[in-house]
């Protein structure tokens, strides 16, 4: 994110609100390298931050008023009274930043108002966490301006609460933590149970590789209901197995656990995905730590198969990306994010990037799908103050 962007966002703030902002902050979107649908099972995830960010110019107010504006949404400044903020009262984009203010105040932080102008380069609804970027940038700005002293992981928890309770979306903790805590050149190995974390060096360019994000530009309409069903199924599995969360089933005990689930095939499949996926995260961490980066490719492919066949949240577009990329020489590929559309990631040798990109674009054209958006993802910095 360039200084120019910070200056442009500050300039727009001044046009809207008639004074310079007190500061400008940025928070990134993310892609998840491995560890899908494990975060609401208390398990492991491994996201890294994208160079795409939500940027916010912010000033405090003392009069209990919150004013919001986004460069990316048509419309005037929205003005709200802090005392009127209430969970699930807002179905618009403004629910994300308002939810953060609400969550901060609920947690006892003395936030007395703000003027906020936002602009984001994170594509919305592409599974790259534009919502978390929006929440985290607002949380970080208010944390700094009001001197709240919250660490990144604490802000992530508050943002998750904003999205769960205020927006009404039952998301896990990964996206907010990734946006708040990732570091450039690293993937974040995160234990979603206690939010303990480890930065794992992940510099593909230095090893002659690239990671592509393929945004399929589709979002199938049933995705939210299906997410809820998967979540409920995982909770049922944990209850049947007598554990707090599926994270508590060790990989070595998976077969015994599946036997105990008897003929509940639906729950068996969900449990198998979550337990094997946690193990895949651990395998990817140990491969990266021992310098065997190319060997993570097959683990990503296994992860995709598990999401497609056991968790059943892939879709024809995502499968086509993965199959085509692998046939064109990719080291690994898998869907990333919630599923039923959104994005896939492709790990490739630098020399194969063009061939793979053309192959995927060609396959989409032949299938009559909307052209995908393909871009390279370099692990970027987490949330930060720009000026």
Is 175 annotated in the active site?
Answer: yes
N- to C-terminal Cα separation, the chain: 12
Of the candidates 51, 87, 113, 125, which one interacts with ligand ADP according to CB under 6 A? 125
DSSP state of 380: B
Helices (H), 18-51: none
List the catalytic residue out of 175, 215, 278, 352. Answer: 175
In angstroms, the CA 328 to CA 353 distance is 9
Pick the piece of the chain touching ligand ADP (CB under 6 A) from 117-125, 196-204, 306-314, 357-365. Answer: 117-125
Do the annotations mark residue 126 as ligand-binding? yes
Do the annotations mark residue 36 as ligand-binding? yes
> Does position 32 bind ligand ADP by CB under 6 A?
no
C-beta of 10 vs 204, nearer to ligand ADP: 10
Any idea what the Cα angle at residue 262 is, between residues 259 and 267, rounded to 5°?
Answer: 95
The listed partner (ligand ADP, Mg ion, none) that binds 127, CB under 5 to 8 Å by sort, is ligand ADP
> Does position 131 bind Mg ion by CB under 5 A?
yes
> Hey, CA dihedral for 22, 24, 27, 29, is it positive or negative?
positive
In angstroms, the CA 309 to CA 346 distance is 19
Which of 342, 95, 339 lies closest to 231, judged by CA? Answer: 339
334 forms beta bridges with 345
Of the candidates 23, 28, 99, 127, which one interacts with ligand ADP according to CB under 6 A? 127
Of the candidates 32, 98, 120, 223, which one interacts with ligand ADP according to CB under 6 A? 120
Do the annotations mark residue 38 as ligand-binding? yes
- Laid out side by side, the sheet with 44-45 consists of 44-45, 186-191, 197-201
Do the annotations mark residue 317 as ligand-binding? no
C-beta of 31 vs 267, nearer to ligand ADP: 31
DSSP SS3 for 145: helix
In angstroms, the CA 368 to CA 278 distance is 35
Which residue's structure tokens are 């966002």?
9
The listed partner (Mg ion, ligand ADP, none) that binds 73, CB under 5 to 8 Å by sort, is ligand ADP
The listed partner (Mg ion, ligand ADP, none) that binds 59, CB under 5 to 8 Å by sort, is none
Do the annotations mark residue 354 as ligand-binding? no
Of the candidates 129, 150, 216, 217, which one interacts with ligand ADP according to CB under 6 A? 129
Strands 47-60 and 197-201: unpaired
C-beta of 23 vs 28, nearer to ligand ADP: 28
Binding-site residues, in ranges, read: 36-39, 70, 125-131, 163, 227
Q: Which residues are catalytic?
A: 175
Instruction: Using CB under 6 A, list all residues that contact ligand ADP.
Output: 70, 72-73, 93, 96, 118, 120, 124-131, 134
Binding residues for substrate: 36-39, 227
């Amino acid at each position: 994110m360039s200084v120019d962007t910070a200056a442009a966002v500050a300039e727009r703030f001044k046009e809207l609100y008639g004074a310079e902002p007190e500061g400008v902050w940025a928070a990134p979107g993310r892609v998840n390298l491995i560890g899908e649908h494990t975060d609401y099972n208390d398990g492991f995830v491994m996201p890294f931050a994208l160079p795409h960010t939500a940027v916010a110019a912010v000033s405090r107010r003392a009069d209990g008023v919150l004013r919001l504006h986004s460069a990316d949404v048509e419309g005037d400044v929205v003005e709200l009274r802090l005392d009127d903020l209430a969970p699930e009262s807002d179905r618009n984009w403004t629910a994300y930043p308002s939810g953060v203010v609400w969550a901060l105040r609920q947690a006892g932080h003395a936030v007395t108002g703000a003027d906020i102008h936002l602009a984001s380069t994170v594509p919305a609804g592409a599974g790259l966490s534009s919502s978390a970027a929006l929440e985290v940038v607002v949380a970080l700005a208010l944390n700094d301006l009001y001197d709240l002293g919250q660490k990144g992981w604490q802000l992530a928890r508050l943002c998750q609460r904003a999205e769960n309770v205020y927006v009404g979306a039952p998301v896990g903790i990964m996206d907010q933590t990734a946006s708040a805590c990732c570091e450039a050149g690293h993937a974040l190995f995160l234990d979603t149970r206690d939010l303990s974390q480890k930065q794992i060096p992940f510099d593909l360019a230095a090893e002659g590789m690239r990671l592509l994000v393929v945004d399929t530009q589709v979002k199938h309409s049933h995705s939210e209901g299906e997410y809820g069903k998967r979540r409920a199924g995982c909770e049922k599995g944990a209850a049947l197995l007598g554990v707090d969360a599926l994270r508590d089933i060790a990989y070595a005990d998976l077969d015994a656990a599946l036997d105990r689930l008897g003929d509940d095939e639906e729950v068996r499949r969900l449990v198998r995905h979550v337990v094997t996926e946690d193990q895949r995260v651990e395998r990817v961490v140990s491969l990266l730590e021992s310098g065997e980066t190319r060997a993570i490719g097959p683990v990503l492919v296994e992860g995709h198969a598990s999401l497609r066949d056991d968790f059943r949240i892939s879709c024809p577009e995502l499968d086509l990306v993965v199959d085509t990329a692998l046939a064109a020489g990719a080291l690994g590929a898998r869907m990333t994010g919630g599923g039923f559309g959104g994005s896939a990631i492709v790990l490739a040798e630098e020399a194969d990037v063009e061939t793979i990109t053309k192959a995927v674009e060609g396959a989409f054209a032949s299938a009559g799908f909307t052209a995908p958006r393909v871009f390279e993802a370099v692990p970027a910095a987490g949330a930060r103050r720009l000026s």
